[in-house]
Structure 1
Amino acid sequence: MRGLFLLAVALGQPAMVSAGGIELHAHLFMKEGMSPMFRGDFFGPLKATSWRDRFSSQANPETLNASGLQVAVVSLYSHPVLTLSMRDSVRRQIALARKFVGENPEWILPRTAKEARDGVAHGKRLLVLSLEGAMGIIETEEDLKEFVDNSGIRIVTLLHLTDDLFGGVALLRGILGFASPIALVRSWFSGTRDVDGVLVNGAGLTEKGRWMARELIKRHVWLDLSHASDASQAELVPMLRAAGQPLLYTHTTLRRFLRAERGITAEQLQGVRETKGLLGVMPAEDMLLGTNSEGGLTALSAQAREIGLVIGADGVAMGSDYNGGVQHLHPSVGTGTSLDQEQGLWQIGQSGDVWRGLKLAPDPVVARFLAGWEKVDSTRCP
């Protein structure tokens, strides 16, 4: 904590804030994406009751409004088996986002960086549409026209949990690696590892993936690298740099602690610094494993501090994965916030308390996000 305070002072930023900040990865409408497995919906009461809940609603209009967030990136997701139509599922989620904004005029759904900056200047809060996993939803020119050009999706996590027609994904830790079973088994036999000995997926982008990446960049969509394998990133990163896009990892953790490809490497972190990109740290116990013995907010603070020392404190956002099937933070001690209560971090309305608990200044992060978005909007076609 003291290190974060000194870092904030050194960067000329206030160490304490009342609320605010930016959430880079929240599944507000997960009922539409995982219907039979998920309890509760966005326009109803919360169903989660503690930090341990994974598939119960952790967000609704009341808690989102109470979060103090200046920017909330809404991650649209559709399970390939649990939904009858992945595209229809995403269409319904976009309609729900529009409904929320229509009923809550302090929020807007910006399609461009200029709209976002003008909105902030007029006291508005930003709901930004993002898509996690393009396969089954955006695959064709017609899909690009519908979901990007017309519906306004501005961030895309091209690759998600399983190798697909677009390319290879980052292997998860432990048994979760079986989310991409073929890639995991193949990696066992190939023995492909990174410089620190972490097992990695040797599969990179496919030709279809290269085409899709180029098309998204051409349409000024910000590509999220969070789930891309090292091999996929080896192709994506040069494309993004050539186009002038800041590197974006909406929800990740440090690989040197996680010891799985899903975490970000020191080299990748340098790329975020060099391009003035952003990284969302995950307040999730499973993603903080190995950081320290305490876990929870203490581990999150340690990661935020280390990341901030590399990319700048204004590049550190939250990527909480609310409603995304992860356990959040166990109760903290001595913060004087709701995080100290027995439920721990369990719903999006506590976002301001997370920023306060970390003593991070949110305004510079929002400014860096808007500046990054402006670069994306002026993208050069690769």
Structure 2
Amino acid sequence: MTEPAPIPVFDGHNDVLLRLLKAHAGTAETAFIEGTETGHLDLPRARKGGFVGGMFAMFPPPLKSSSGMDRMQGGSYAVQLPAELGLADAQASTTAMASILLRLERAGGLTVCRSVAEIRAAVAKQSLAAVFHIEGCEAIDTDFRMLDLLYAAGLRSLGIVWSRPNAFGHGVPFVFPSTPDTGPGLTDAGRALVRECNDRRILIDLSHLNEKGFWDVAELSSAPLVATHSNAHSVCPHARNLTDRQLDAIRESRGMVGLNFATAFLRPDGSMNADTDLEVMVRHLDALIERVGEDGVGLGSDYDGATMPARIKDVAGLPHLFEALRAHGYDDALLRKIGTENWYGVLERTWGR
């Protein structure tokens, strides 16, 4: 008997471009299209796991230190984050990752999509559908000249901050246990950025924003509230996760939350540990659906950006999550919503097409 085809997945967040930049800068197309032994995401494993596309992030990396995620261990911690990047350094790494994305498209590894119609067309022809996303706007100047250029290159989604502060706002640090209410919200430049994104219909990603920044966006933005890779604070009390009140606001806006597979944001003990049972992912999805509804929850894996549960391991392991959800009682209609349909819906409501 042949195995059923995997549930198609459009994913809210991955960091494969940063991995390719660091490990395969001169051979990125070959590494992605032919596959590698390391990392979480490439074309062969995407095909195996049912991954049909997603948000391909460009995260300006720290210059001399790691992000600190590997230090999230034990019952409590407050990870010291790397310093904010200067504009020139952030622009250099962001444009390098953008170049990799566009070269992957030229090599036939994926299709850069600017509308849901283009996403559906790419998936129909069995090409990975990639949305140009930046995580942390250090590369954008406060006059928004770089925003104009990135938008012309295909940018349709951005996270105002990563967890460190920048010119536009304050990120939520890696603190456990903690609420996300950790400091000031958006700056004046950040408020202007929200308006610029609304004018261009660029999706604003609330993941990594602290709670005050979240409410600043909620007050200012006319678009659905979206957290591409965040989890339920009621299950894991990490500062990076969303409170019930935040989830209620996302629901009221007809927005979206993508389940983050990073184990420190899943586990009730906040540890970045691959020995994590899929049951806790099911618990988060139950909690997210309870607050946001069946039409507002999807996946936001954080592939190539964090430690995954060992049972999933990489993108080829996505069917294991759907097996666990089926065993828990999720039917195929709900699995299809979580896999692709909810993302398509919120992108249509944000982009208008």
Cα separation, partners in 2 of 1:210 and 1:295, compared to 1, 3 Å: same
CA distance in 1, matches of 2:285, 2:144: 39
Q: State the match for 1:140 in structure 2.
A: 143
Q: State the match for 2:250 in structure 1.
A: 272
Shift of 1:124: 5.2
CA distance in 1, matches of 2:29, 2:318: 17
Cα separation, partners in 2 of 1:124 and 1:314, compared to 1, 3 Å: farther
Query: CA offsets, 1:42-76, max 9 Å, x none?
Result: 7425343xxxxxxxx22222222333123321111
- Scaled by the length of structure 2, the TM-score of the pair is 0.78
CA distance in 2, matches of 1:154, 1:373: 10
Q: Which amino acid aligns with 2:144?
A: E
Q: Which amino acid aligns with 2:233?
A: R
CA distance in 1, matches of 2:184, 2:258: 25
SS of structure 2 residue aligned to 1:317: strand
Shift of 1:160: 0.9
Q: Which amino acid aligns with 2:6?
A: S
Counterpart pick for 2:237 among 259, 270, 273: 259
SS of structure 1 residue aligned to 2:13: strand
CA distance in 2, matches of 1:138, 1:59: 31
Q: Which amino acid aligns with 1:126?
A: A
Q: Which amino acid aligns with 1:285?
A: T
Counterpart pick for 1:363 among 336, 348, 352: 336
Query: CA offsets, 1:229-276, max 9 Å, x none?
Result: 111112101222xx2x12111111111233232110101111222222
Q: Which amino acid aligns with 2:261?
A: P
Q: State the match for 1:46 in structure 2.
A: 36
Cα separation, partners in 2 of 1:79 and 1:308, compared to 1, 3 Å: same
1:353 aligns with 2:320: yes
Q: State the match for 1:19 in structure 2.
A: 7
Shift of 1:310: 2.4
Matches within 5 A, 1:221-240: 221-240=202-221
Structure 2 regions of 5+ residues with no counterpart? 65-84
Query: CA offsets, 1:172-206, max 9 Å, x none?
Result: 224xx9xxxxxxxxxxxxxxxxxxx8373221111
Shift of 1:372: 1.7
Cα separation, partners in 2 of 1:99 and 1:357, compared to 1, 3 Å: farther
- CA RMSD, aligned part only? 3.1
Shift of 1:32: 5.5
CA distance in 2, matches of 1:142, 1:295: 44
RCO greater where, 1 or 2, for CA within 8 Å and sep 6 or more? 1
Cα separation, partners in 2 of 1:354 and 1:104, compared to 1, 3 Å: farther
1:65 aligns with 2:43: no
CA contact (8 A) 2:15 2:57 kept: yes
Q: Which amino acid aligns with 2:91?
A: R
Identity of aligned residues (%): 18
CA contact (8 A) 1:31 1:41 kept: no
CA contact (8 A) 1:43 1:60 kept: no
Shift of 1:152: 0.8
Q: State the match for 1:30 in structure 2.
A: 18
Q: State the match for 1:131 in structure 2.
A: 134
Q: Which amino acid aligns with 2:169?
A: G
CA distance in 1, matches of 2:157, 2:96: 18
CA contact (8 A) 2:194 2:217 kept: yes
- Scaled by the length of structure 1, the TM-score of the pair is 0.73
SS of structure 1 residue aligned to 2:133: strand
Q: State the match for 1:96 in structure 2.
A: 100
CA contact (8 A) 1:30 1:41 kept: no
Matches within 5 A, 1:272-311: 272-290=250-268, 295-311=276-292
Cα separation, partners in 2 of 1:36 and 1:111, compared to 1, 3 Å: closer
CA distance in 1, matches of 2:192, 2:325: 40
SS of structure 2 residue aligned to 1:74: strand
CA distance in 2, matches of 1:291, 1:31: 28
Q: State the match for 1:114 in structure 2.
A: 117
Shift of 1:167: 1.2
Query: CA offsets, 1:330-377, max 9 Å, x none?
Result: 3xxxxxxxx3xxxxx222222233233323544324233222222222
SS of structure 2 residue aligned to 1:257: coil
Query: CA offsets, 1:131-186, max 9 Å, x none?
Result: 100013454322011111x1111110101111221112113224xx9xxxxxxxxx
Aligned residues: 314
Counterpart pick for 1:203 among 184, 201, 206: 184
